[in-house]
Amino acid sequence: MLVLLPPSEGKTPAPATAPPLDLAALSHAGLTPVREKVLDALVAASARPDACDVLGVSRGLADEVARNVGLRTAPAARASTVYTGVLYGAAGLDTLTPAARARAVASVRVVSALWGVLGVDDAVPAYRLSMGTHLPGIGPLAAAWRGPLGVELAADADGRLVVDCRSATYRAAWAPPAAADWVDVRVLREVDGRRSVVSHHAKHARGVLTRHLVTRRGREPHDADELAHAASALVGESLLAVELAPAPRRGPRTLSLVVA
C-alpha cells in the first residue's frame, strides 16, 4: 500500500534549535539534483520585490515568502510535524504508536512542490510553494517533477495499491504505473439526499482514512476492493457511506467517501 498525500498550505516551522536542512539525508535520494535546482530557484524568486506575485500568493503571506530565502540554513523537523492543517490534524501522523508509525513510514508519502516526494520522517523546514506555480528558471513545477518522480516512484508503486488522496494540482505531477492498483479518493457531502463535492470536508475525511489505514489491525489492503472494505469500518463513525466505482478502461478507480 502506498498512500499519497498533498502537503498542507500552512506549515509549522521547526524549533529554532533544530538542526538545519540536510538535502542528502532525505529519502528518495535520486531526487536530490532536482531538489537542489528547485530550491535555488525558489530562494532567488523569494528575494525578488515581486516575490508574492511570482509565487501566486497574497501579500499577507509576505513573511512566509521571505522565510524561503533562508531555507538552506533553516531549522528542519519531521514532515509529520511541519505539515499542519485539516488533513494532517485528522491523520495525526505524529501521534502514532510505534507500530503504526512504522507502517506510516513505510506507506505514506507526501508529494511536494519543493521536495518532489517525502516520507513522514524526512526533516524539512517550513516553506511556501505550490505545485501550481510557474517558478522562474524551472517552469511549471508539475511538469518539472513529472519525469523525476516517474523514475523515483516507479519501484515504490509497481504492483502495489496506491491510495491517492492528492488534490488535482498535485496529481498532475505524477501518475502511478499501469501495474499499480490506483484508487482516487473522492469525498462527497450528502445533505437532504443531495450530494456535492466539498473541500474542507474532503481534507478531513482523507486524513481520517489515512490514520485508519495505518492504525487498523490486520494486514494492509492490497487492492481496491480490500481498501473499500477497510474504509467501510468508518461508516457510522466518520462517514455515511463508502462506494467503490467500477474499474474504468484507463486511470484510477474512484473510492467515494460520503460525509454529512
pLDDT confidence of residue 197: 83
Tell me if 224 sits within 8 A of 253, measured CB to CB: yes
Residue type, 151: V
pLDDT confidence of residue 39: 98
Collect the ranges in the chain with pLDDT lower than 70.
none
Tell me if 77 sits within 8 A of 17, measured CB to CB: no
200-215 vs 224-231: helix crossing angle, rounded to 10: 100
What distance in Å separates the CA atoms of residue 120 and residue 123, rounded to the nearest whole number? 8
φ/ψ of residue 164, rounded to 5? -95, 105
For the record, the C-alpha cell of 260 comes out as: 454529512
For the record, the C-alpha cell of 75 comes out as: 531549522
What distance in Å separates the CA atoms of residue 118 and residue 194, rounded to the nearest whole number? 37
120-158 pLDDT, tens digit each: 999 999 999 999 999 999 999 999 999 999 999 988 898
The pTM (predicted TM-score) of the whole model is 0.95
In sequence order, what are the beta bridge partners of 20? Answer: 75
pLDDT confidence of residue 257: 97
Count of alpha carbons within 13 angstroms of residue 162, beta-carbon side? 27
pLDDT confidence of residue 187: 96
pLDDT confidence of residue 230: 98
What distance in Å separates the CA atoms of residue 187 and residue 258, rounded to the nearest whole number? 6
What distance in Å separates the CA atoms of residue 196 and residue 190, rounded to the nearest whole number? 7
What distance in Å separates the CA atoms of residue 186 and residue 69, rounded to the nearest whole number? 36
For the record, the C-alpha cell of 140 comes out as: 511549471
